[in-house]
Amino acid sequence: MLLYNDIFIDLFCRQINHYGEMVCGDVFISRRVKEEGRTIAVLSDGMGSGIKANVLASLTSSMALNFTLDHKEALKTSEIIMKTLPICSERQTSYSTFTIIDIENDGETTIVEFDNPTCFIVRGKVFFNPGWEKITIEEGKYEGKKIRSCKFTAQKEDRIIFCSDGVIQAGMGGKAYPGGWGFNEYKEFVIKTIHNNPTISSAKLANDVVKYAFRLDHEKPVDDTSCAVIYYRLPRKLLFVSGPPFDDEKDAFFANLIKDFSGKKIISGGTTAEIVARELNLNFETKLMQNDPDLPPTSTIRGIDLVTEGIMTLDKVVKILENSKKNITYSNGAADQIVKNFLESDQIHIINGTRINIAHQDPSFPVELEIRRSIIKRIVKILEDKFLKTVTIEYI
């Protein structure tokens, strides 16, 4: 989702379950509201672990998301949630915690949190204090408890990092951190990681935090462990081209569109690649090594990051996307590499050529053209709905 000054919201949460549990007792949900240019993220930690914790956290996070979507004032939302949540009679603590982050299209960011470890903001390479307010609940079952909130206008290269107790308590009872990793050590780990890699993605930073906590727990986490990162940065752009232009008189225009694009470039389709290579006077070479037994080998054109076969590859791309998660690894096969590039990009522009490939079609009906259009529409829907990518499509 793009904000003012072409800033993109890079958002990711990494989670691992309490050792021995099939589901995570922490719940993270996010939503991009295209019509309003808003991004909302919620992290809730249910008391205990397993199914019961997951149900409590799911209830809390769903309420928080829906109330925020309805533009209910953040503190009012917190009040409603806390009135709904019971208190554990034994521990005298809430059954669930929450952090709510609401980002408007002008960069104004509101954070409200209750009982989660304090989230913090890194501006560039240093910590930034947005001016936190603490509101003490004065009556009811949560009397004396505090809600923290802040509101600030985000800048490019800002990061918000927030987590569940599993991160802070990692390693508890061990030699290195008998009292657990601790909030200060965790913060220092984050800032050191950013210093070492100033453009580190949200996914990589969140993964690094959770992986380190996992090691401190000797790979048997004693609590559900979640770390989420929001990174305000310039978008990573990708151009994906499949199919030659309808009118061959536009071949030169088509090739120059690709040449002039600023970002990564992928061409899917041998005829399309041949046209681009011819019009730009570049060599078009097919690799001998076949990295995917189901697909033809990839090719090379100078200045193009990936060149693949068309329809068969696109069909496999859809299947991989349907079964993909954000943090899995991919093979060197053509379809896997297309998916990897899609998921590493923020803004994806697709050029869908509409010329009929005579070699692939029944003269009575442009089957190949319709198949390509249909597959690309499915790809766009998955990228937008499942992976929250910004996708535009252009027919030529």
Three-state DSSP at 136 gives: strand
Three-state DSSP at 154 gives: coil
List the structure tokens of 306. 């990936």
Three-state DSSP at 176 gives: coil
* Residues present in the chain in total: 396
Rg of the chain (C-alpha set) = 24
Nearest CA-CA partner of 296 in 334, 261, 346: 334
Query: Tokens 């992986």 sit at which residue?
Result: 211
> Please, how many CA atoms are within 13 Å of residue 317, restricted to the half-sphere of its CB?
30
pLDDT of residue 361: 46
Rounded to an integer, what distance in angstroms lies between the CA atom of residue 230 and that of residue 41?
9
Rounded to an integer, what distance in angstroms lies between the CA atom of residue 63 and that of residue 40?
13
Type of residue at 39: T
Nearest CA-CA partner of 12 in 140, 148, 155, 204: 204
pLDDT of residue 113: 93
Three-state DSSP at 379 gives: helix
Nearest CA-CA partner of 178 in 170, 189, 187, 188: 170
Q: What's the CA angle centered on 298, arms 294 and 301, to 5 degrees?
A: 165
pLDDT of residue 117: 95
CA 288 to each of CA 256, 270, 292, 344: distance values in angstroms, whole numbers, following the listed order: 28, 15, 12, 27
Provide the edge-to-edge strand list for the sheet that holds 146-153. Answer: 26-33, 38-46, 96-103, 108-114, 146-153, 133-136
Q: Which residues neighbour 58 within 8 Å (Cβ) at sequence distance 6 or greater? A: 27, 44, 46
CB pairs under 8 A, 24+ apart, for 127-133? Answer: 127/187, 127/191, 128/158
pTM above 0.85, yes or no: no
Per DSSP, the chain holds a count of helices (H) and strands (E) of 10, 18
Query: Tokens 């802040």 sit at which residue?
Result: 150
Q: Tens-of-pLDDT digits for all 396 residues of the chain?
A: 566 668 889 999 999 999 999 999 999 999 888 788 899 999 999 888 889 889 889 999 999 999 999 888 777 777 778 777 666 545 555 578 999 999 998 999 999 999 899 999 999 889 999 999 988 776 666 667 788 999 999 999 999 999 999 999 999 988 889 999 999 999 999 999 999 999 998 989 999 999 999 999 999 999 999 999 999 999 999 999 998 998 888 999 999 999 999 999 999 998 999 999 999 999 998 887 777 888 888 999 999 999 998 889 999 999 999 887 655 667 888 999 999 899 889 899 999 988 765 554 444 445 556 788 889 999 999 998 888 788 999 998
pLDDT of residue 357: 57
Beta-bridge mates of residue 101: 41, 111
Rounded to an integer, what distance in angstroms lies between the CA atom of residue 211 and that of residue 177?
16
Query: Tokens 């379809």 sit at which residue?
Result: 335
Query: Tokens 């590499």 sit at which residue?
Result: 337
Three-state DSSP at 41 gives: strand
pLDDT of residue 267: 96
Rounded to an integer, what distance in angstroms lies between the CA atom of residue 290 and that of residue 275?
23
pLDDT of residue 286: 85
Domains and CATH numbers, the chain: 4-233 (3.60.40.10), 237-395 (no CATH)
- Check if the beta carbon of residue 238 is closer than 8 Å to that of residue 349: yes
